[in-house]
Structure 1
Amino acid sequence: MVSSLVTITSGLTLLTRFVSQVFPLVDSELGGWQRYAAGLEPNELTEQALASIRSKKFHCQGGSIYSLYKGVPTSDFVRLVVALQTISDYLDNLCDRAGIADEAAFRQLHLAMTDALDPGRPQDDYYAAYPFRDDGGYLSSLVSVCRQEVSKLPAYPLVRTELIRQASLYSELQTYKHLDPKVREEKMLTWISKHLPDYPDITPWEFAAATGSTLGMFMLCAAAHNPGLTPHMVSQIAAAYFPWINGLHILLDYFIDENEDLLGGDLNFVAYYANPEQTLSRLLYFYEQAHKQTVALPEAAFARTVIDGLLAMYLSDPKTDPPAPRTVRDSLLQASGPYPRLMYRLCRLLRKKGKL
């Protein structure tokens, strides 16, 4: 009981700092990038840059929880998270909303993700295969900010290989998932089949979900602030986040978007489950596996708060209120325990107040 109370108290303290201290920093960083894009020549690229900032602030807020990891300089880390997540969100718009479905163009664009995390290589020409090119230096500037922040990490050499691996998998997913619906599923399954033997406990679409999260990248960068980081600790973090915490993150994201994705003809990994019962079973399985992995992690309490926070933030979204998702939501919250339910209620309150 004492242990549970300590966990709840520390988690609530973290959540309070997150909303009161980190959210304003996120607003400030995003405001800077918004002013940058708004000052450029109006065209398709600047329009998508501004649209991604307007509609995807939630992603930057969520990733910035890692700015509260032990030993991390909060302001600098928010700067890194916002820049990297903004690259991700901007490129998603370029692949999804500009009326283009070109594999070579998407692959070239997403070199920005790996370049952003690898200061030792020259920046590429990200628009080389894309029909629009003049972004006023916007994407290159985002990449440069990430590289500046990554270069400050004392233990960066220890996390570099896993960091680039996850960024590369993320980029491959984005390259395939935005292709024409007639070819994307086959292309994705061919790609996934090369990796799936290493992950026998998950389905092809759950693997794809795990590749779609940036949380593992943020955690590795946060851990690299620790000069005492060891290769074993990096391996433990990698195993916890990929596929479990990453996968939980994106499966929850797709769960709340399932109905609108089906209406819009968009790819949705949760839609591959046979029925709501299977959806509940697999979400609960990922949640339980993610929690099991935290036992071996440095700062295990922080990791548990992140996992429970994912559940609370996504399930508190009004998209889960209709009868079908509500049944899964309520069952998942009931199975997860009192702490996630408390965080869920707090997130509902924060949404009502316009904080989320």
Structure 2
Amino acid sequence: MKAPTTMWTMVYKVYKEIVPEVHMILDEWRKKAETIEDDELREYALESVNENTFHNEGGGVFALLTKEKVRKDVLWFIVSYQVICDYLDSLCDQSDSLDPNDFRSLHEALRQALHPGTLDDSVYYEHRGQKNDNGFLRELVATCQEKVAAFPGFEETQASMEELSLHYRNLQVYKHVKKEDREPLLIKWYEETKEEYPQLARMRWYEFAASTGSTLGVYALAAYASKGRMKRETAVKIKDSYFPYAQGLHILLDYFIDQEEDLADDELNFCAYYRDEEDMVERIGVFKSEAEENLKTMPDASFHTLIHKGIIAIYLADEKVQNDPEIKRVANRMIRFGGISTLFFYLNSWVFRRVGDKEKAA
């Protein structure tokens, strides 16, 4: 099964083959979340399923790289892993805890998700009073383990997936601690990590932090692992094609559309560290260009380039952008540097979101 390489084919296959399957999997996790007796944990679990559908739809696009007979397993892994990310983010964001040990223990679930045979749910809530999620998190982890263990190329991709996952887990710890500790911890982490990755020397600390907050590389690696055995060097190449620039662009756009919301909630927002609008647009443009160059070296390069352009469009078509004239003005500048493909995906995403809103309302 050849991965789509044109805008039209990509959009058709996403809406026809990926979105319905993603929604079906989310329905299964919703049913499980509804059985949680603890009111607060049930609320966070349902929020992770109900409020982040487009995270799962976006991640699900990588399943188009696979053969149809394994596509469902790839989607089950991607959606389950993403629900874990969103659930844990809610637990860290919205609870009263500021304990880094708590955040590290919660995110042990993500580590275990990529290490079949290490299922131990006694760790997750060990620093919390609320512990009874009726097996919700354990079942998510077990599902991820079951799926990746069956991928023929998982042995070769596991180390690269874990590397990206560890970056993500570290970010979730450092950005949720006491406000006065966040920036020093993130800067220290950047200074330590750039010794290992020479390309980080061309980044600012908050841009590095943004690049660790994406799951795109993990999903790309999972899709290729499902296709067959590969050389470990190939897995590393796939990882390096997504991290740091393609992942960084993804999360910088996410923070861009959340600026007003984060300001109101006094939350950390990496786009707020740019000197001004010109600085932000220029640097995001650099991430866009660097990501394109790196993705050109990927297998199925045209497919990954389309995803890259689609991500720009999906974020800039978001309702938060459309409802804020100032953010929309800046977004229009970014759409232009994305080119005609981004404009196409932007218009398509804008229409699709509104059709979806009408269906929900009905």
Q: TM-score range by the shorter chain?
A: over 0.9
User: Given the alignment, which residue of 87, 105, 108 partners 1:111?
Assistant: 108
Q: Is the 8 A contact 2:157 2:221 kept in 1?
A: yes
318-327 vs 268-277, greater mean Cα deviation:
318-327
2:5/2:303 contact within 8 Å kept:
no
Distance in 2 separating the partners of 1:8 and 1:334: 24
Question: Residues of 2 paired with 1:337 and 1:262: CA distance?
Answer: 30
What is aligned with 1:4?
Answer: none
Instruction: Tell me whether 1:315 sits opposite 2:311 in the alignment.
Output: no
User: Do structure 1's residue 30 and structure 2's residue 30 form an aligned pair?
Assistant: no
1:185-204 aligned within 5 A: 185-197=183-195, 198=197, 199-204=200-205
Does structure 2 retain, via aligned residues, the 8 Å contact 1:23–1:61?
yes
**Runs of 4+ more than 3 Å apart:** none
Give matches, 1:106-185, under 5 Å: 106-124=103-121, 125-185=123-183
Please name the residue that 1:331 is paired with. 333
2:8 match: 12
**Which amino acid letter does the alignment assign opposite residue 327 of structure 2?**
P
8 Å CA contact 1:69–1:222 kept in 2: the answer is yes
Q: Deviations over 1:26-64 (max 9, x none)?
A: 111111111111123143212211122121122111111
Q: Partner of 2:126: helix, strand, or coil?
A: coil
Task: Write the distance in 1 (CA, Å) between the matches of 2:287 and 2:357.
Answer: 28
Is contact 1:237-1:297 (8 Å) kept?
Answer: yes
CA contact (8 A) 2:119 2:142 kept: no
1:206–1:269 CA contact under 8 A, matched in 2: yes
**Cα deviation digits, residues 286-332 of structure 1 (max 9, x gap):** 11111111221101011011101101100111222333322321111
* Residue 67 (structure 1) aligned with residue 69 (structure 2): no
- Counterpart of 2:249 in structure 1 is 248
1:29 counterpart letter in structure 2 = I
Which letter maps to 1:34?
R
Aligned match of 2:74: 77
1:59-93 CA distances to partner (integer Å, 9 max, x unpaired)?
Answer: 11111111111436221111111110000000001
Deviation by residue 1:193-214 (Cα, 9 ceiling, x = unmatched): 2112321111111111111011
Tell me which residue corresponds to 1:3.
Answer: none
User: Distance between the aligned counterparts of 1:74 and 1:275, measured in 2?
Assistant: 43
2: distance between equivalents of 1:136 and 1:9? Answer: 43
| CA deviations over 1:112-144 (Å, ceiling 9, x no partner) | 001001114343521111221111111000000
Letter in 2 for 1:344: Y
Instruction: Report the counterpart of residue 261 of structure 2 in structure 1.
Output: 260
Task: Provide the secondary structure at the position in 2 that maps to 1:200.
Answer: helix
Equivalent residues of 1:67, 1:78 under 8 A apart: yes
* Aligned equivalent of 1:348: 350
The one-letter code sitting in structure 2 at the alignment partner of 1:310 is: I
CA shift for structure 1 position 336: 2.1
Q: Secondary structure at the match of 2:177?
A: coil
Larger mean Cα displacement after TM superposition, 37-46 or 275-284: 37-46
Whether the aligned pair in 2 keeps the contact of 1:196 and 1:204 (CA below 8 Å) is no
Amino acid at match of 2:105: Q
Q: Which deviates more from structure 2 when the two are superposed, residues 323-332 or residues 278-287?
A: 323-332
Q: How does 1:272-287 map to 2 (within 5 A)?
A: 272-287=273-288
Cα distance between partner residues in 2 of 1:133 and 1:110: 14
Give the TM-score normalised by structure 2: 0.93
Tell me the distance in 1 between the aligned counterparts of 2:333 and 2:281: 8
Which stretch shifts more, 145-154 or 187-196?
187-196
Q: Which amino acid aligns with 2:188?
A: T
Deviates more, 1:316-325 or 1:194-203: 316-325
1:303 matches 2:304: yes
Please report the RMSD computed on the Cα atoms of aligned residues, expressed in angstroms: 1.8
The size of the alignment, in residue pairs, is 350
Q: 1:216 aligned to 2:217?
A: yes
Gapped regions of structure 2 (runs ≥ 5): none
**Distance of 2:340 and 2:357 partners within structure 1:** 23
The answer (yes or no) to whether the contact 1:233–1:297 under 8 Å persists in 2 is no
Separation (CA, whole Å) in 2 of partners of 1:348 and 1:101: 37
Q: Is the 8 A contact 1:95 1:106 kept in 2?
A: yes
CA distance in 2, matches of 1:103, 1:9: 43
Provide the C-alpha distance between the structure 2 equivalents of 1:141 and 1:318, rounded to a whole number of angstroms: 33
* Matches of 1:207 and 1:95, distance apart in 2: 21
Cα offsets for 1:220-240 (capped at 9, x unmatched): 111112324222322221111
CA distance in 1 between counterparts of 2:5 and 2:229 reads 28
Partner-residue secondary structure (3-state), 1:353:
helix
Name the stretch that deviates more: 191-200 or 140-149: 191-200
Question: Which amino acid in the other structure matches residue 162 of structure 1?
Answer: S
The CA distance in 2 between the partners of 1:8 and 1:233, in whole Å, is: 21
> Partners in 2 of 1:74 and 1:110 — Cα distance?
26
Amino acid at match of 2:74: F
Deviates more, 1:118-127 or 1:313-322: 118-127
